[in-house]
């Protein structure tokens, strides 16, 4: 009995070793070495993908396993049913997928995972006719460069690429000259002028992106949440400032997908003496090849045609600007506020959007032209003081002249009396 157990154990060890040990090779007519018997598990480590081909006769007993009993990695990735044959089961996954682990050694990058065969009872039966098996799989990629006649391609994602994909994009909002060629050096305006604003994103090594101005407000301070405020762009890209007596509009067509230019007729807050404002815009980007929609658009209102029109994309994406409800309900910024009131808003700190502020914009021609808060009272006080001083001076001069005339008149009357004596 003991002899039979030892022979059975040796048979299991021999069959297990057959799954992992190299197979004998033979040379075909072309001189290529080919295995004399296909291995039960074949692994192909590609540049960014792992291919695993499993024989349905996994244990070499002639009893074929079910593809549904096979999975790859801790994530239990399923095989490709479309590539399934009568004798083989195929897996094609990325090197980082299915829960594979990465180990960095001095000379290589090692991706490790495993093939799992976990048999389940068939039908109403409660028995199993095959064993559970776990086959470790590793892919080794050398960290040193190699030389060949073919182009050298990386076998892993370079660290530099990973850093660029995680860093934040650089958004900007600038005041431009009327010809859009240079940045405006003096941010001063007369009421009735038009401010030229250019929003831009610097993409670095990112894929091509398209920039949108989601919403904009004008405030008296750099904080876009203060009151009073005036909404310039709202509802995910509707330039609502052009609905009133202004001609504010986006510039079409764009010069580049990552740049969006628009004009705003300058204004000031009627109930405040300050002659400066700040404009805060929420900028965001989408892939350049994505078609603009109601949540990502740039729409201007034309008074002559009484309709909204987009810078690019289907015309119907601007129809929601009339009702002020674009995209999902509640997505519009400050959807129920009236001007002059403000509430805090939440911001998503992610890489594809940012709040940018430009200012101060200084408006000449008001009571104060210095842009400093409270400066309007000083010139007024000075002028009032000068006016009072002038009045006092004129009054004193008039009194002195009157006194002098009275003295001369008195001296003229006394002289004849002295002559008669």
The model's pLDDT over 295-351, given as tens digits with 9 standing for 90+, comes to 999 999 998 889 999 999 999 999 999 888 887 643 334 433 333 333 333 333 345
The dihedrals phi and psi of 275, each to the nearest 5 degrees, come to -115, 30
pTM of the predicted protein model: 0.47
Which residue range forms the structural domain that includes residue 267? 169-364
- Is 16 inside any structural domain? no
Average pLDDT of the residues in 97-121:
86
Among 4-8, 232-236, 245-249, 318-322, where is mean pLDDT lowest? 4-8
Residue finishing a domain among 103, 135, 160: 160
Q: Residue 95, exposed/middle/buried by CB under 10 A (0-12, 13-18, 19+)? A: buried
- Of 48 and 293, the structure prediction assigns the larger pLDDT to 293
What mean pLDDT is reported for the chain?
74
* pLDDT given at position 253: 93
Same domain, residue pair 214 and 108: no
Same domain, residue pair 109 and 241: no
Does pLDDT of 141 surpass 90?
Answer: no
Does pLDDT of 384 surpass 60?
Answer: no
- Of 263 and 400, the structure prediction assigns the larger pLDDT to 263
* pLDDT given at position 323: 85
90 within 8 A of 79, measured Cβ to Cβ: yes
Same domain, residue pair 190 and 336: yes
Residue finishing a domain among 160, 186, 213: 160
* pLDDT given at position 265: 92
**Which CATH number covers residue 268?**
2.60.40.4100
At residue 119 the predicted structure's pLDDT band, cuts being 50, 70 and 90, is: confident
The dihedrals phi and psi of 336, each to the nearest 5 degrees, come to -115, 10
- Is 380 inside any structural domain? no
- Is 398 inside any structural domain? no
Residue finishing a domain among 322, 337, 364: 364
* pLDDT given at position 401: 65
* pLDDT given at position 36: 53
- Is 411 inside any structural domain? no
> Residue for token digits 């002098």?
404
Average pLDDT of the residues in 222-245:
91
* pLDDT given at position 196: 95
Same domain, residue pair 285 and 347: yes
- Is 130 inside any structural domain? yes
Does pLDDT of 47 surpass 80?
Answer: yes
**Which CATH number covers residue 64?**
2.60.40.3210
Average pLDDT of the residues in 212-225:
92
- Of 296 and 204, the structure prediction assigns the larger pLDDT to 296
Same domain, residue pair 324 and 184: yes
- Give me the number of domains the chain comprises: 2
At residue 149 the predicted structure's pLDDT band, cuts being 50, 70 and 90, is: low
The 10 Å Cβ neighbour count of residue 280 is: 23
158-186: per-residue pLDDT in tens? 444 444 444 567 899 999 999 999 999 88
- Can you read off the two tokens belonging to residue 247? 């001609």
* pLDDT given at position 235: 94
- Of 198 and 371, the structure prediction assigns the larger pLDDT to 198
* pLDDT given at position 102: 86
- Is 110 inside any structural domain? yes
Average pLDDT of the residues in 284-292:
93
**What are the CA-CA distances from residue 82 to residues 51, 88, 95 (Å)?**
14, 12, 21
- Is 308 inside any structural domain? yes
> CA 268 to CA 192: how far, in whole Å?
11
At residue 387 the predicted structure's pLDDT band, cuts being 50, 70 and 90, is: low
- Is 353 inside any structural domain? yes
Same domain, residue pair 229 and 116: no
């Amino acid at each position: 009995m003991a002899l039979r157990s030892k022979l059975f154990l040796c048979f299991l060890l021999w069959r297990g070793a057959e799954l992992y040990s190299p197979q004998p090779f033979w040379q075909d007519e072309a001189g290529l070495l080919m295995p004399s018997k296909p291995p039960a598990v074949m692994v192909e480590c590609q540049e960014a993908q792992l291919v695993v081909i499993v024989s349905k006769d996994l244990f070499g007993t002639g009893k074929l396993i079910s593809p549904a009993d096979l999975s790859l990695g801790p994530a239990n990735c399923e095989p490709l049913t479309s590539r399934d044959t009568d004798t083989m089961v195929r897996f094609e996954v990325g090197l980082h997928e299915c829960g594979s682990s990465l180990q960095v050694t001095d000379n290589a990058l090692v991706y490790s995972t495993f093939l799992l065969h976990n048999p389940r009872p068939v039908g109403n039966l409660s028995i199993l006719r095959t064993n559970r098996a776990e086959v470790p799989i590793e892919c080794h990629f050398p960290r040193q460069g190699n030389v060949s006649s073919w182009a050298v391609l990386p076998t892993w994602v370079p660290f530099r690429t990973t850093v660029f994909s995680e860093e934040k994009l650089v958004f900007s909002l600038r005041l431009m000259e009327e010809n859009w060629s240079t940045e405006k050096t003096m941010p001063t305006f007369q009421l009735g002028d038009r401010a030229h604003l250019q929003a831009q994103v610097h993409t670095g090594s990112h894929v091509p992106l398209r920039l949108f101005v989601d919403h904009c407000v004008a405030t008296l301070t750099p904080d876009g949440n203060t009151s009073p405020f005036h909404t310039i762009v709202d509802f995910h890209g509707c330039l609502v400032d052009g609905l009133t007596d202004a001609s504010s509009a986006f510039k079409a067509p764009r010069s580049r997908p990552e740049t969006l230019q628009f004009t705003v007729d300058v204004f000031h807050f009627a109930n405040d003496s300050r002659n400066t404002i700040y404009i805060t815009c929420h900028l965001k980007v989408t892939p350049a090849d994505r078609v603009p929609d109601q949540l990502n658009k740039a729409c201007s209102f034309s008074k002559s045609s009484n309709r909204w029109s987009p810078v690019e994309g289907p015309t119907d994406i601007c129809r929601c600007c009339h009702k002020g409800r674009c995209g999902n309900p509640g997505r519009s910024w400050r959807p129920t506020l009236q001007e002059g009131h403000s509430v805090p808003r939440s911001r998503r700190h992610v890489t594809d959007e940012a709040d940018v502020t430009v200012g101060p914009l200084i408006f000449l021609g008001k009571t104060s032209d210095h842009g400093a808060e409270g400066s309007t009272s000083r010139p007024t006080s000075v002028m009032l003081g000068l006016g009072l001083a002038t009045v006092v001076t004129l009054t004193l001069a008039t009194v002195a002249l009157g006194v002098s005339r009275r003295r001369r008149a008195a001296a003229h009357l006394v002289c004849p009396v002295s002559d008669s004596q």
